[in-house]
Chain A
Amino acid sequence: MSKIFSKLPKIKNIYIEKGNYNNFQSNNIENIINNILKLKRNTNEKIKINYLENEEIINLTKQNKISQEDSYDLIIQKNPGIYIKKCPGTPNYICCNYHITTFYVNCNLGCTYCFLKFYLKNNNIIIYYDIDLFLEEINRFDRLRLGSGELSDSLLYDPFTNYSDIVMEYLENKPKITFEFKTKTDYIDPFLKRKPLSNIVVGFSVNPENISKILEPLSSTLNERLEAASILLKNGWKVSFHFDPIILTLGLDENEYLKLFNTIIDLAGNSIAWFSLGTLRYNIDMMEDLRKSYKGRILLKYETIKGLDGKIRYFIDDRLRIYRKIFDIYKNRNCTFPLYYCMESDKIYLKTFGKLPNKIDNLSNIFNFNC
């Protein structure tokens, strides 16, 4: 088991939403509780388990304060919406047509740049217990690229839920449905227990060590993540990488991204499933929160503009500079794995690739333009 779990805050309470569970759901809840109790058996954590009505659960999820930094409440509830959605993208920027699904809401990793704590205002973790409905929903699609890393880390709570097993088992015979588990952990146990699947990708979101050790304090270290990726590759699994957010700031050398990009190419070469790049962007209201901490202020030490979507971004010349440096390495090393930008303007594509993604050969499958 990854070392990361010993660093995380403790669970104080588990709240379970009362409901008319079907067999899958009641077994699932039971498994989650048993897994948690088993994992916590040798710790001094005293966890209270409570069953609550739907309204009480809603009140809990609406809380807008963090009661204790070192502990959190875990809420096991039904998903109030649908499971599979198209990534909402952002106006005026090019989206890769990724689909997102949510098994968990919120994350304990506490990365400084993360928008979750800003929007959710509390540190409760939600686990949806009715993922049988996700499996039903997925039947509606013939072809899809989706992932569960939008509102949480895909694998951080997997030891509680074993959802990766459930998903992989179901998708084993659906090769056109590509599922990405996006993570900042090095938790890869579920993948090593089974034969590799061509439609499953483990995505590692990484930042150079100089950024990661400050702004991603609870995540697995860069080396741990790279080591995990290497093990997966050796075992025949597909891996992807994400430099998102790329952080430019005073006093931290941006060329560290280039070194890391080279390291990853050395490690995985053209077997990388895809590699996405995106520079830091955030809602203007987040600035006030960021100013409250030393680490937050690090993120503000660079020229920014208000983008076409109203979000704060680095000025396009600075974004282009770092993207061009990375793209030059990609070209010079004859890379053929799909490389793309997350929520970037047409100009960025035109000034690096020289064309838009629909004209870039190895991106048509990724972007799934016919979808």
Chain B
Amino acid sequence: MILNFQKVELEKINKNFKPLIDFSAIDKDSLKEFHNSIFLNSKNDGYIPIVLSEDPFQCKSILKSLIVEYEVNTIKEIIEDIKLYNDDYYLIVKRFGKIILNKDSILLKDDFIEKYHSYQIFSLIFIMIFFKNTIDSKPSILLYLLFLLANENPKIIEQLKDIFKLYGFFEKIDFIPKDFYIYLISIDADRSLLLELKNLIGTIYSLPKSIEIIKYILICKLNKNRLRRLIFEIYRLVDLEKFDEFISIMKQDDEFFNDLKITNSQKEIRLSNIINKIINPSFSSRNESFNKLLNSLKLSLINIKPSLSFEKNEFSISANIKNQKELEILKDEIIKLAECKDKIFDF
């Protein structure tokens, strides 16, 4: 049985598409050695079996040794052909020509065909497996493609949990709501971020109310970098045995966080303030006192910044002057500043 992606490309999203049957490309007898298998055919390298199993983790370990049979140059060529942002993911699969299926494959069960469009599933599986070896250098490829597929067919979203599971991202799979997977795809979460999340979830899983953190991430719609920083901060909360305290304080602010009129960035600022006060109490309080002092000076032109984390005995001062009048104001502000130098250098 051959699923021809050339055909798929022509027919684009033809939902009635059925795989063609053709055993000519591979010796029928040899197929028996590969139960529940898909075979990839690259032009020169021969058939590469991709073993599917009902146990995704078992399947993953078998694949690892088989996939590396592809030659580096072939992979490089294919990667170069990928145009990530033009929705043309068919190009990737087209390069491989055919996928040959064992007729006993679990993927050919009638109910499966009915439920999903096989070309999507096959390409999805292929993409996941193929990019396993290259994901580190192009980490967002897999998730971007998943995102495209999910957009194309919402039913696939329902399969996201399995996909993430197959890919080994989350062991505590039931811990995570479906929306969280969609959120991760929408922020283009890369492999390293997903692994960091996986480790974090493994760490906080047993803590009471740990699921709440997922809720707040979703509410604040943190971007990729902020999520990465939050992971670090949550570890610090756990290190300092303050995770429970953090969740309790957040809960007191539930009204604020659930208010749809308040923007995500305002919520993110509130989240950051709460965390900072818990994990860096001395620093936060020093920062607050410093800001109070600055406010009391009522400087309109001069900006004063302490050294990073107040580490050094120095401050940086800057001012933007637009006219002569402002220059006069600046003179007064510098005098005011000099008068309270002791207070400033007390920080």
Contacts and interface: CB of A to CB of B under 8 A. Distances in A.
A158 B239 CA distance: 38
Interface in B272-327: 279-283, 286, 307-313
Nearest to B346: A351
B262 interface: no
B135 to A, nearest CB: 21
Given A345-B312, A346-B313, A303 B307 contact: no
Interface residues of A, number: 23
B312 A347 contact: yes
Contacts of A308: 307-309, 311-312
A256 B322 CA distance: 57
Contact of A301 (B240, B282, B309): B240
Contact of B313 (A287, A306, A345): A345
B241 interface: yes
A250 B282 CA distance: 15
B70 interface: no
A307 B307 CA distance: 10
B235 interface: yes
Nearest to A308: B311
B346 to A, nearest CB: 9
B309 to A, nearest CB: 4
Contacts of A302: 240
B282 A318 contact: yes
A33 interface: no
A347 B281 CA distance: 20
A278 B312 CA distance: 16
B280 A307 contact: no
Contacts of A297: 239
Contact of A347 (B235, B240, B280, B313): B313
A317 B241 CA distance: 21
A315 B280 CA distance: 8
A86 B31 CA distance: 67
Interface in A300-330: 300-308, 315-318
Interface in A254-313: 287, 291, 297, 300-308
Given A92-B312, A345-B311, A305 B235 contact: no
A66 interface: no
A360 interface: no
A318 B310 CA distance: 12
Given A305-B283, A315-B280, A287 B312 contact: no
Nearest to B238: A291
Contact of A305 (B203, B239, B241, B309): B309
A85 to B, nearest CB: 26
B235 A315 contact: no
Interface in B197-227: 203
A345 B282 CA distance: 18
A317 B282 contact: yes
Contacts of B311: 92, 305, 307-308, 316, 345, 347
Contact of B283 (A301, A315, A345, A347): A315
15 contacts: A92-B312, A287-B235, A291-B239, A297-B239, A302-B240, A303-B279, A304-B236, A305-B280, A305-B311, A306-B309, A307-B309, A315-B282, A317-B286, A318-B282, A347-B311
Interface of A: 92, 250, 287, 291, 297, 300-308, 315-318, 345-347, 350-351
Given A300-B239, A316-B309, A317-B310, 16 more contacts: A250-B241, A300-B236, A302-B240, A303-B240, A303-B281, A305-B283, A305-B311, A308-B311, A315-B280, A315-B282, A316-B311, A317-B282, A317-B286, A318-B282, A345-B311, A347-B311
Q: Which 4 A-B pairs have the closest CB atoms?
A: A300-B239, A347-B313, A305-B309, A315-B282
